[in-house]
Amino acid sequence: MERAAGDPGICSTRVSEILAKYSRRPDALVSILHDVQKEAGYVSEKAMTEIASELDIPVSKVYGVATFYTLFSTRPKGRYIVRVCENAPCHVRGARAVVEALERELGIPMGGTTSDGRFTLEYTSCLGVCGVAPAIMINEAVYGNLTPERVPLILKEYK
Amino acid sequence: MEFYRSHVLVCGGTPCVLEGCKGVRDALVAEVQRRGLEREVKVVETGCLGPCDLGPVIVVYPEGTLYQKVRVSDVPDIVEEHLLKGRVVARLVGEAPQAGVVKYEEPKYLGVQERIVLRNCGVIDPESIEEYIARDGYRALARCLTEMKPADVIEAVKKSGLVGRGGAAFPTGLKWSFTAKAGADQKYILCNADEGEPGTFKDRLILEGDPHSILEGMAIAGYAVGADKGFVYVRGEYVLSIERLGKAIEQARALGLLGQNVFGTGFSFDVEIRKGAGAYVCGEETALIESIEGKRGEPRVKPPYPGTEGLFGKPTVVNNVETLANIPPILLNGPEWFRRVGTERCPGTKVFTLTGDIKNKGLIEVPMGITLRRVVFEIGGGIPGGRGFKMAQTGGTSGGCLPKELLDVPMDYFTLPEHGSALGSGALLIMDDSHCIVDIARCFMEFFKHESCGKCTPCREGTARLYEIVDKIARGDGQPGDLELLEELGAAMQATSLCGLGQSAPVPIKTMLKYFRDEFHAHVHERLCPTGTCGI
Distance from CA of A116 to the nearest CA of B (A): 26
Residue type present at position B59: V
Enumerate the residues of chain B whose CB falls inside 8 A of the CB of residue A140.
239
pLDDT score, position B53: 85
- Residue B184 — very low, low, confident or very high, per pLDDT cuts 50/70/90? very high
Q: Please tell me whether the peptide bond between B97 and the residue prior to it is cis, using omega within 30 degrees of 0.
A: no
Quick: pLDDT tens for B328-385.
Answer: 999 999 999 999 999 999 999 999 999 999 998 889 999 999 999 999 998 898 999 9
Angle at A75 between CA A72 and CA A81, to 5 degrees: 65
Which 362-391 residues of chain B touch chain A by CB within 8 A?
A: 362-363
Euclidean distance between CA atoms A119 and B479, whole angstroms: 41
pLDDT score, position B107: 54
pLDDT over threshold 50, residue B32? yes
- Of B239, B363, B431, nearest to A140 by CB-CB distance is B239
Pairing status of strand B65-67 against strand B229-234: unpaired
CB atoms under 10 Å from CB of B151, counted, come to: 11
pLDDT score, position B112: 78
pLDDT score, position B453: 95
B91-105, B116-130, B225-239: least confident range: B91-105
pLDDT score, position B94: 77
Percent of chain B predicted with pLDDT > 70: 97
A42 at B interface, C-beta within 8 A:
no
A121 and A98 in contact (C-beta within 8 Å)? no
E strand spans, B333-465: 349-356, 362-367, 389-394, 401-403, 427-432
Question: Given an 8 Å threshold on Cβ–Cβ distance, is B453 in contact with A68?
Answer: yes
The mean pLDDT of B172-196, rounded to a whole number, is 97
pLDDT score, position B98: 39
B285: exposed, middle or buried (Cβ count in 10 Å: 0-12, 13-18, 19+):
buried
- Please choose, from the candidates A92, A27, A125, A62, the residue with its C-alpha nearest in 3D space to the C-alpha of residue B291: A27
pLDDT over threshold 70, residue B505? yes
Count interface pairs A-B at CB distance under 8 A.
Answer: 148
pLDDT over threshold 50, residue B426? yes
B252: exposed, middle or buried (Cβ count in 10 Å: 0-12, 13-18, 19+):
buried
The mean pLDDT of B419-433, rounded to a whole number, is 94
Euclidean distance between CA atoms B115 and B123, whole angstroms: 11
Per-residue pLDDT in tens (0 to 9) along chain A, 159 residues:
444 444 456 888 899 999 999 999 999 999 999 999 999 989 999 999 999 999 999 999 999 999 999 999 999 999 999 999 999 999 999 999 999 999 999 999 999 999 999 999 999 989 989 989 999 999 988 899 999 999 999 999 998
Euclidean distance between CA atoms B339 and B405, whole angstroms: 29
B526: exposed, middle or buried (Cβ count in 10 Å: 0-12, 13-18, 19+):
exposed
The mean pLDDT of B188-200, rounded to a whole number, is 96
Half-sphere exposure of B149 (CA within 13 A, CB side): 4
The mean pLDDT of B445-466, rounded to a whole number, is 96
Alpha helix ranges (H) inside B398-456:
437-451
Euclidean distance between CA atoms B536 and B533, whole angstroms: 8
B354: exposed, middle or buried (Cβ count in 10 Å: 0-12, 13-18, 19+):
buried
pLDDT score, position A2: 44
ipTM, two decimals: 0.92
pLDDT score, position A122: 95
Which are the contacts of A74, defined by CB distance < 8 A and separation ≥ 6? A42, A43, A44, A45, A48, A63, A66, A67
